[in-house]
Amino acid sequence: MNRRSISRRKLLATTAAAGTALMARPMIARADTKEVLIAEPVHGTGYLPLYIGMAKNLFEDVAVKIVTIETGAGHTNAVLSGAAFAFIGGPEHCAFAKIKGAELRAVVNCVDRGNVYYCAAKGQEPAGTDWPSYFKGKTVATSGFGGTPNSITRFLLKKWKLDATSDVTLVETANSAILPAVRGKQAVIGCSTEPFITQGVRTGVWSEPFINIPKDMGPYAYSTFNVRLDTIQKDPGLVRGFVRGMMKSLKFVHDNHDEAAELAKTQFPTMALDDLKATLARSFADDMWSQDGTISPAAWDTAKSVVMGAGILKVDVKYDEIIDMSFVNGLKATL
């Protein structure tokens, strides 16, 4: 599979110039197929169903391209400005935008668990499960402020009655830089995702995760596909076509574990096939991906409790204000 992408620099320049008042204007790829650009915050195995859907041509009605933007709210802003059709991220980003007067909607699910694992540097693993005592005084590498791994970290610290500024030191960085931060001894604990978890274990940087958020927190609207409300209103057929492709992709991954691993190899060519299979085995064991694209109210409740508990979301934004399941529900009987 050839990864279809565009220049990140070009996209960011377009985003900055466009402003937030423009609607998304997908380009025409063929007479009967529209091209859509998806902004992702990291290129990781968490979004494998999207990549496999592209490789297997499961998006029959749209031509999908992706761009990776590891700059905080950059992926959200790409959609707000009209530079991208959709972004991958938790629905809390739709809530943040709503508070500022913008209208975004999550239209289909992808990652239905909190895709976060905590790993300790080799030789510094916890002796038990007294997390407040273990974390106190340590340096933790996590995503940038506002990113979901960062929000989960802050939520847990607050739950453990630890102050995020005085009781621990947070190294807030790009997702892809967390493993190097622990390798370089800038942090003792890494709050990371696959494929970095398996890479860190196989290279001896850290041990197997000592906290497994997917298992501990259950259904969690972690990574959904989010579009502008006016895109839904003005071009519902385009949204429906993309949602249909994602639902088919999710089903394919769920039903074809071995082929999913083979296809993943083309997206992550520097990873050994055995490492990729281990990465996907962890994801399947932890029920990482939605099977049908549904974003449940319970999954949003969990995500909302994290960002509100972490003090990042200040207003209680309701499910129906930021999540639109009409396309998923309408397509279930047809797939």
- List Cα–Cα distances, 328 to 87, 101, 249, 291, 296, in angstroms: 17, 26, 13, 12, 11
Structure tokens at 325: 């399941």
Give CA–CA dist 116/123, Å, rounded.
Answer: 21
199, 45 contact by CB (below 8 A) = no
User: Looking at this protein, which amino acid is placed at residue 245?
Assistant: G
Can you give the pLDDT at residue 146?
Answer: 80
Question: Domain extents for the chain?
Answer: 8-114+218-334, 117-217
Q: What is the pLDDT of residue 13?
A: 45
Contact in structure between 37 and 83 (CB atoms under 8 Å): yes
Dist CA 143 CA 152 (whole Å): 10
Question: What is the Cα–Cα distance from 119 to 212, expressed in whole angstroms?
Answer: 9
How big is the CA angle at 132 (ends 131 and 133), to the nearest 5 degrees? 90
Q: Is the pTM of this model over 0.75?
A: yes
Residue 204 CA to residue 125 CA, distance in Å, equals: 13
- Cβ proximity of 95 and 317 under 8 Å: yes
Cα–Cα dist 24/80, whole Å: 8
Tell me whether the CATH fold assigned to 8-114+218-334 matches the one assigned to 117-217: yes
Are 148 and 73 within 8 A, CB to CB? no
Token pair, residue 265, equals 């190899």
Q: In the prediction, which pLDDT does 32 show?
A: 63
For strands 169-172 and 189-192, give the pairing: unpaired
> For position 268, what pLDDT does the model report?
84
pLDDT of the residue at 19: 35
Q: How high is the pLDDT of residue 147?
A: 81
Tens of each residue's pLDDT in the chain, 335 residues: 444 444 444 444 444 433 333 333 333 334 467 999 999 988 888 899 999 999 999 998 899 999 998 766 788 999 999 999 999 999 999 999 999 999 999 999 999 999 999 999 999 999 999 999 999 999 999 998 888 889 999 999 999 999 999 999 999 998 889 999 999 999 999 999 888 898 899 999 999 999 999 999 999 999 999 999 999 999 999 999 999 999 999 999 999 988 888 888 888 888 787 888 888 889 999 999 999 999 999 999 999 999 999 888 999 999 999 999 999 999 998 88
CATH 2.60.120.1140 fits domain 8-114+218-334: no
How far is CA 121 from its chain centroid?
Answer: 24
Residue (of 227, 211, 220) closest to 304 by Cα position: 220
CA distance 129 to 84: 43
The pLDDT value recorded for residue 45 is 86
Q: Which CATH class is domain 117-217?
A: alpha beta
- Taking the CA atoms of 42, 44, 46 and 49 in sequence, report the sign of the dihedral they define: positive
pLDDT of 212 reads: 97
SS3 per residue for the chain: CCCCECCHHHHHHHHHHHCCCCCCCCCEEECCEEEEEEEECCCCHHHHHHHHHHHCCCCCCEEEEEEECCCCCHHHHHHHCCCCCEEEECCHHHHHHHHCCCCEEEEEEEEEECCCEEEEECCCCCCCCCHHHHHCCCEEEECCCCCHHHHHHHHHHHHCCCCCCCCCEEEECCHHHHHHHHHCCCCCEEEECCCHHHHHHHCCCECCCCEEHHHHHCEEEEEEEEEEHHHHHHCHHHHHHHHHHHHHHHHHHHHCHHHHHHHHHHHCCCCCHHHHHHHHHHHHHCCCECCCCCCCHHHHHHHHHHHHHCCCCCCCCCHHHHECCHHHHHHHHHC
